[in-house]
Amino acid sequence: MNGFYILAHDSKRLNATFDIVNNALNDLVLHHSNDRFYIDSYGSGLLLRGVLLHFLCRYDEAHEAFDEIIYLAKRFDTKSFLAANAVLEKGLIYLSLKQKQKAMEYLQKSLNDYKNYQLESRLQFRINAAIQTAKQMNN
């Protein structure tokens, strides 16, 4: 999700990308709900939607997207990174909002509650970097 930092200061492109993701999710729901990998594709779309909403400062909506991923976690492929990423992203929202305690809660949850998923070491690097940022914040 680091690529979105490139767009972070360009709301026009963020909104355009958000529209593309929403259109793709709508198409997925309408035309591909019986596909073999539907739920994983849907979760990936929700993750993108949530990250974009975070960058658009629409935090409540971002939390809703991430909460839906967490709710769907048992339906994803067993090696899926989606739930762990959703928990991390919730922590990053709280970090953005300077809510250190809540951020640490979600960052630790992402680090401790999810194991043996795709790209685990990459996500753990992001979690640890966010934890270091949180530790440097004033309460």
Query: Whole domain around residue 24: which residue ranges?
Result: 4-135
Q: What CATH number should be reported for the domain holding residue 106? A: 1.25.40.10
- pLDDT tens, position by position, for the chain (139 residues)? 566 677 777 889 999 999 999 999 999 999 998 888 999 999 999 999 999 999 999 999 999 999 999 999 999 988 899 999 999 999 999 999 999 999 999 999 999 998 888 888 889 999 999 999 999 987 5
> What pLDDT is recorded for position 84?
95
Which pLDDT score, from 0 to 100, does residue 7 have? 74
22/18 Cα distance (integer angstroms): 6
User: So what's the pLDDT on residue 20?
Assistant: 96
Q: What is the DSSP string of 24-63?
A: HHHHHHHH-TTSTTHHHHHHHHHHHHHHHHHHTT-HHHHH
| The predicted structure's pLDDT at residue 78 | 82
Q: How many domains does the chain have?
A: 1
Q: What is the pLDDT of residue 4?
A: 67
129 to each of 47, 51, 59, 111, how far by Cα in Å?
A: 20, 17, 21, 12
Encoded tokens for 86 = 């959703």
Give pLDDT, residue 2: 60
